[in-house]
């Protein structure tokens, strides 16, 4: 199991637990009504620079660090949540709801994809930056992964 396996499992997990959410999305060029949809989920980065403004609401999964030693194999992953609304209060509440839903579900389920275990502490923050129509929240997670089994005997002949 690799860090990429973890991120892909998290991608599917986040899509599943947020599929029924209806968050404000930017109005398309041909429409006059505000759209609502679940957040899109991306691994690593958004597809392109233009997506930064058009993709919201979205969840971005980023590997921070990984560590393998004699006792454990862990990865730290940032789950970045971005929402959109021209109403700042609504935007703050949307972002807080999204962060809370993901964080709570991770703490309830503990294990995702029958392979990765979310460890405590799970930390989160809603940024206070003035980003006009965007709100950003972040969840910092630690994941225990299956250790790679080393077999040095095959080299001792």
d(CA 46, CA 52): 7
Q: What is the pLDDT of residue 130?
A: 72
Whether the Cβ atoms of residue 124 and residue 99 lie closer than 8 Å to each other: yes
Residue 58 has pLDDT above 80, yes or no: yes
pLDDT top residue among 143 and 53: 143
For residue range 75-102, list pLDDT tens digits in order: 999 999 999 998 889 999 999 999 999 9
CA angle 106, 108, 67 (to 5 degrees): 40
How would you classify residue 14: left for phi > 0, otherwise alpha for psi between -120 and 50, otherwise beta?
alpha
Give the chain's radius of gyration (CA, Å): 18
User: HSE-up of 150 (CA within 13 Å, CB side)?
Assistant: 8
**Whole-number average pLDDT of the chain:** 88
Q: CATH code at 57?
A: 3.30.70
Q: How many domains does the chain have?
A: 1
Alpha carbons 134 and 59: distance in angstroms, whole number: 13
Amino acid 53: pLDDT: 67
Q: Which domain holds residue 65?
A: 3-155
In three-state secondary structure terms, 93 is helix
Kindly indicate the confidence band of residue 72, based on its pLDDT and cuts at 50, 70 and 90.
confident
**pLDDT in the model for residue 64:** 92
Residue 52 clears pLDDT 90, i.e. is over it: no
pTM of the model: 0.87
Helices (H) and strands (E) in the chain, counts: 3, 8
């Amino acid at each position: 199991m690799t860090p990429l396996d973890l991120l892909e499992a998290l991608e599917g997990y986040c899509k599943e637990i947020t599929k029924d959410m209806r968050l404000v999305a930017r109005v398309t060029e041909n429409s006059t009504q505000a759209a609502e949809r679940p957040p899109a989920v991306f691994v690593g980065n958004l597809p392109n620079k233009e997506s930064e403004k058009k993709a919201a609401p979205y969840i971005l999964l980023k590997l921070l660090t990984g560590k393998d030693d004699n006792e454990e194999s862990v990865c730290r992953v940032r789950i970045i949540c971005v929402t959109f609304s021209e109403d700042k209060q609504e935007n703050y509440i949307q972002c807080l709801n999204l962060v809370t839903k993901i964080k709570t579900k991770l703490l309830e389920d503990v294990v995702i994809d029958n392979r990765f275990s979310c460890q405590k502490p799970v930390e989160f923050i809603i940024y206070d930056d003035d980003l006009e129509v965007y709100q950003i929240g972040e969840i910092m997670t630690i994941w225990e992964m299956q250790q790679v089994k080393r077999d040095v005997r095959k080299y001792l002949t």
